[in-house]
């Protein structure tokens, strides 16, 4: 068993680079403390930025009014930054809501859903609720979406779902493969690209493609790198006709004014995203290197999570770490010996290493 003590972990941390001299105070204020190390839901350990918190506080005073002006202002700001039209952006109380509405809009009992496994489960759950056929295709050898297999899975599919970077693996599907999927998917189907984690990666976004494709829907969220998971805010980007099909199921699903103001402040903070991205990358790569040095295989992640092959039933590992107040997971049925771990802050990742080494040394 590997001997790891708090003192050795502190020494290990002291020997590391100073995280690129990142401006911690500018990136965020301290998040709420917990007795548990929460590395199980892909949340940001830093919470909303200081600017977002200030804006959200101001939003409380306007909560007696409907927040539509703030919603339109957020959509306009995002559209301007992305170089697309404002009417191609719709705001929802979380991208999960937009994703569920997309499944309801684009699938049926005769037009199924094609997605990867392991991947985010919400589309499958939504499709099953309306008795739409679901074809799950295993990731390829590089843990990317197997686009040729997905295209062959259901010639009558109504929707193809790609999460990029993928949840739970954090792996990327090449841009050209996504273009191939868009060009060769079943006639009349819609390609939905979930970019909840794209801000952690160096890969290009598909958002600008909506200008030329009326059968592409791209999803974004403020729950991850912007640290607003509890505030519930997501965007759907696509042709106005596609967005109208989503609105049938929840067009009034609008976040509170405070949330919208916090999101606008986050988009306007030009330092926030690169700081958090760099910090996440360094902590993720350090942790993966540490695990590999002890013989564990990890996915090649470009996100704020990664998966570990723990070489045994992963649910048991989740339980052992939870007994030490280190919460990791989840586990996907198609990968029963792999477990997902979210990238936390430096102290949380140090505690994860300590408990992981003691439990699986």
C-alpha dist (Å) from residue 185 to 146, 188, 255, 317: 13, 8, 33, 39
Which tokens hold the place of 193? 């690209």
CB 168 within 8 A of CB 181: no
Instruction: Tell me 178's DSSP state.
Output: H
| Residue 254, pLDDT score | 85
Which tokens hold the place of 98? 């937009």
- Tell me what percent of the residues of the chain surpass a pLDDT of 70: 91
pLDDT digits (tens, 9 = 90+) for 96-113: 999 999 999 999 999 999
| Residue 151, pLDDT score | 98
Locus of tokens 């200081």: 50
Domains of the chain in sequence order: 6-47+272-360 (3.90.1150.10), 50-268 (3.40.640.10)
pLDDT digits (tens, 9 = 90+) for 6-52: 333 333 343 344 444 444 433 555 555 668 999 999 999 999 999 99
The pLDDT of residue 94 is above 80: yes
pLDDT digits (tens, 9 = 90+) for 250-287: 877 889 999 999 999 999 999 999 999 999 999 999 99
Q: How far apart are alpha carbons 237 and 95 in whole angstroms? A: 11
Q: What integer is the mean pLDDT of 76-105? A: 97
**Cβ neighbours of residue 132 closer than 8 Å, sequence gap 6 or more:** 103, 107, 108, 109, 111, 112, 113, 158
Q: How far apart are alpha carbons 87 and 241 in whole angstroms? A: 10
List the alpha helices (DSSP H) in the chain. 6-15, 24-27, 50-59, 68-82, 95-106, 122-129, 147-153, 175-184, 240-250, 257-268, 272-293, 314-322, 346-360
Q: Is the pTM of this model over 0.85?
A: yes
Q: What SS3 state is found at 345?
A: coil
Sign of the CA dihedral 71, 163, 309, 203? negative
Q: How far apart are alpha carbons 4 and 36 in whole angstroms? A: 20
| Residue 29, pLDDT score | 52
Longest dimension (CA), the chain: 61
Task: Measure the CA angle with vertex 104, ends 329 and 248; round to 5°.
Answer: 125
Instruction: Tell me 217's DSSP state.
Output: E
159 phi, psi to nearest 5 deg: -150, 135
Chain mean pLDDT for the chain: 92
Residue with the larger pLDDT of the pair 23 and 323: 323
Sign of the CA dihedral 114, 118, 123, 124? positive
Instruction: Tell me 13's DSSP state.
Output: H
C-alpha dist (Å) from residue 213 to 47, 216, 238: 35, 6, 8
| Residue 30, pLDDT score | 52
Task: Give all strands of the β-sheet with 216-221 in edge-to-edge order.
Answer: 89-92, 234-238, 216-221, 190-194, 159-163, 113-117, 134-138
Omega of the bond leading into 165 within 30 degrees of 0 (cis): yes
Q: Are strands 113-117 and 134-138 parallel, antiparallel or unpaired?
A: parallel
Say what the alpha-carbon torsion angle 134, 135, 141, 143 is, to the nearest 10 degrees: -20
pLDDT digits (tens, 9 = 90+) for 139-164: 999 999 999 999 999 999 999 999 99
Which tokens hold the place of 334? 């198609």
Residue 18: burial class (beta carbons within 10 Å; 0-12, 13-18, 19+): exposed
């Amino acid at each position: 068993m590997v001997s790891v003590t708090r003192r050795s972990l502190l020494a290990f941390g002291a020997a590391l680079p100073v995280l690129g001299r990142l401006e911690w105070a500018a990136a965020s204020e301290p998040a709420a403390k917990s007795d548990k190390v929460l590395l199980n839901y892909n949340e940001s350990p830093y919470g909303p930025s200081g600017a977002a918190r200030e804006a959200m506080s101001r939003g409380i005073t306007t909560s007696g009014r409907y927040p539509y002006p703030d919603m339109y202002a957020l959509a306009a700001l995002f559209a301007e930054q992305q170089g697309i039209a404002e009417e191609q952006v719709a705001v929802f109380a979380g991208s999960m809501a937009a994703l569920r509405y997309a499944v309801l809009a684009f699938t049926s009992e005769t037009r199924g859903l094609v997605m990867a496994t392991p991947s985010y489960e919400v589309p499958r759950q939504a499709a099953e609720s309306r008795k739409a056929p679901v074809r799950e295709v295993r990731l390829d050898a590089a843990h990317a979406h197997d686009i040729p297999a997905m295209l062959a899975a259901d010639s009558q599919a109504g929707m193809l779902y790609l999460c990029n970077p993928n949840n739970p693996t954090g792996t990327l599907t090449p841009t050209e493969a996504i273009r191939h999927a868009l060009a060769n998917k079943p006639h009349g189907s819609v390609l939905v690209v979930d970019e909840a984690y794209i801000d952690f990666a160096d890969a290009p976004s598909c958002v600008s493609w909506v200008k030329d494709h009326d059968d592409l829907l791209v999803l974004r969220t403020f729950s991850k790198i912007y640290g607003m998971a509890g505030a519930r805010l997501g965007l759907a980007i696509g042709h106005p006709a596609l967005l109208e099909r989503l609105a049938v199921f929840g067009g009034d699903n609008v976040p509170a004014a405070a949330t919208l103001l916090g999101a606008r402040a986050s988009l306007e903070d030009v330092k926030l995203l690169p700081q958090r991205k760099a910090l996440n990358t360094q902590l993720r790569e350090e942790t993966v290197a540490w695990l590999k040095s002890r013989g564990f295989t990890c996915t090649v992640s470009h996100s704020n999570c990664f998966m570990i092959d723990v070489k045994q039933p992963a649910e048991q590992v989740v339980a052992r770490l939870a007994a030490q107040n280190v919460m990791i997971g989840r586990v996907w049925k198609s990968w029963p010996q792999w477990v997902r771990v979210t990238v936390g802050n430096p102290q949380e990742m140090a505690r994860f290493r300590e408990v992981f080494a003691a439990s699986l040394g």
